[in-house]
C-alpha cells in the first residue's frame, strides 16, 4: 500500500516528532525531585541516552512502544507498510547496538518501556531510583 500523504506532508509530520516526550519529561522531573542528578539526551554519548550519569557509568533509555517495536503494544501503520517495517526494524537493531556498546564498555544500562511507566509510574520510578542507588553504593565498596 502506498503512502496516503504527499512527500512534503510526510516530511512535515516526521519533523514534528520531538527527540523527547512528555513522558520522559515527567520521569526526569520526578527523579530530580528525589535528588537524582543527571544529564538528559547527551549528544556525546552513543545513542544519546534519555538520562545519563557519567560519574557512575549509568545510561537509561525510555523506549516508546511504537518507535522501539514493543511486542505487546507496538502497532504498525497500515499505510506505507514497507517503509515502516524497515524503519521500526532498524530502530530495534540500533537498540541492540547501543546495548552491546555500553555492555562492552562496562556501563550500567537500563531500558524502560513506555507501557511500564503508564501501568505503574511510581513503581517504575522507584525501580529506576533503586537501580541508580545500587550502582552508586557498589562504587563505594
The mean per-residue pLDDT over the stretch 10-33 comes to: 79
| Each residue's pLDDT tens digit, 55-101 | 999 999 999 999 898 888 877 788 888 999 999 999 999 999 999 99
**CA-based max dimension of the chain:** 59
pLDDT of 16 over the 70 cut: no
What would the grid cell of residue 4 be? 496516503
pTM over 0.75: yes
* DSSP alpha helix (H) spans, 1-140: 7-15, 22-33, 81-104, 114-119, 121-138
Geometric angle at alpha carbon 128, from 136 and 67, rounded to 5°: 130
Report in angstroms the alpha-carbon separations of 47 from 41, 62, 82, 126: 9, 12, 25, 24
Amino acid at each position: 500500500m502506498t503512502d496516503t500523504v504527499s512527500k512534503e506532508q510526510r516530511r512535515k509530520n516526521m519533523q514534528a516528532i520531538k527527540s523527547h516526550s512528555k513522558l520522559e519529561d515527567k520521569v526526569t522531573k520526578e527523579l530530580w525531585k528525589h535528588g537524582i542528578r543527571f544529564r538528559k539526551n547527551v549528544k556525546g554519548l552513543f545513542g544519546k541516552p534519555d538520562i545519563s550519569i557519567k560519574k557512575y557509568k549509568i545510561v537509561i533509555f525510555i523506549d516508546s512502544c511504537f518507535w522501539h517495536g514493543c511486542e505487546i503494544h507496538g502497532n504498525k501503520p497500515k499505510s506505507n507498510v514497507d517503509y515502516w517495517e524497515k524503519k521500526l526494524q532498524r530502530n530495534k537493531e540500533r537498540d541492540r547496538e547501543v546495548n552491546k556498546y555500553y555492555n562492552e564498555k562496562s556501563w550500567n544500562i537500563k531500558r524502560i518501556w513506555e507501557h511500564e511507566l503508564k501501568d505503574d509510574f511510581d513503581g517504575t520510578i522507584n525501580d529506576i531510583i533503586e537501580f541508580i542507588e545500587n550502582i552508586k553504593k557498589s562504587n563505594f565498596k
